[in-house]
Amino acid sequence: MGRLENKVAIVTGAGRGIGKAVASHYAREGATVVLADVNEELGNKLAKQLTDNGATTAFIKTDLNDLSEIDGLIEQSKTEFGQLDILVNNAAVTKSLGFFDVTEADWDWIHNVNSKGLFFCMQSAARVMKEQGGGKIVNIASIAGKGYPATSNISYAGSKGAVIAMTRIGASSLARDNINVNSICPGVTRTDLYYEVMRGKVESSGKSEDEIIAALDASIPIRRSNEPEDIADLAVFLASEESRNVTGQSWNVDGGLMWD
């Protein structure tokens, strides 16, 4: 029997990277998984893969810039499966920008998804969880939110700092409703978004992608960057009954880059 048997989980940004790994791990542990992503092609492709492997899944196209779509995601998930036990707030955006390159449009784009969209997804899911007597919320933050200097840009770091703060306040606010709220703070993680940021650093630095990646890995005490599965392993624990007394925490998965 899987660790998430008879649970219904929503994973945002599930089409690729960390979200895809989390959704796949949850399905393997027995959860019914609702895949939310703005990219229909990627979302439907993963839904088919998981279903073909025996999992119960659904894909719901969701743009976290649109609060009505967030509410629709939560309502449709509850209607289709009768409950909502786990929310993984993973969807996020960023790009490589210097301090003086960040524009108002960049700021709004990043914060609308990474912090505003995340909060209202958490709020909408928590209403359902409160009614049914509890649940688990896992927010994917970043060590950028704790001041990691090699972040993609300062706006992204600010949005992830907001996620860490909202995790703590959310955990405090929802504790009496038996809702655990935790966040995971990945370090350097080899996702599609990671390689997009690397291409931006290549353009701005004049160095090759291999040189930049080698320097990043060399800066990590354990000398290796994350694979998405490293994040998904912790996300399973935080969604399971094994973490029933864990709430309000921000867990680093970064090979030893940060210590708080």
Q: Can you give the pLDDT at residue 8?
A: 98
Q: Can you give the pLDDT at residue 182?
A: 98
Residues 1-34 have pLDDT tens digits of 799 999 999 999 999 999 999 999 999 999 999 9
Residues 42-82 have pLDDT tens digits of 999 999 999 999 999 999 999 999 999 999 999 999 999 99
Residue 62: alpha-carbon gap to chain centroid? 14
Q: How far apart are alpha carbons 231 and 242 in whole angstroms?
A: 17
Q: Can you give the pLDDT at residue 190?
A: 84
Q: How far apart are alpha carbons 236 and 240 in whole angstroms?
A: 6
Q: Can you give the pLDDT at residue 34?
A: 98
**Torsion from C-alpha of 160, 162, 167, 172, nearest 10 degrees:** 170
Q: Give the helix/strand (H/E) hosting 160.
A: helix 154-174
**Can 194 be counted among the known catalytic residues?**
no
Below-50 pLDDT ranges, the chain: none
Largest Cα–Cα separation, the chain: 54
The fold for domain 8-189+227-253 equals Rossmann fold (3.40.50)
Provide the b/e sequence for 156-187 (b: ≥16 CB within 10 Å): bbbbbbbbbebbbebbeebeeeebbbbbbbbb
Q: Which of 26, 148, 156, 194 is catalytic?
A: 156
Q: Can you give the pLDDT at residue 240?
A: 98
Q: Can you give the pLDDT at residue 211?
A: 81
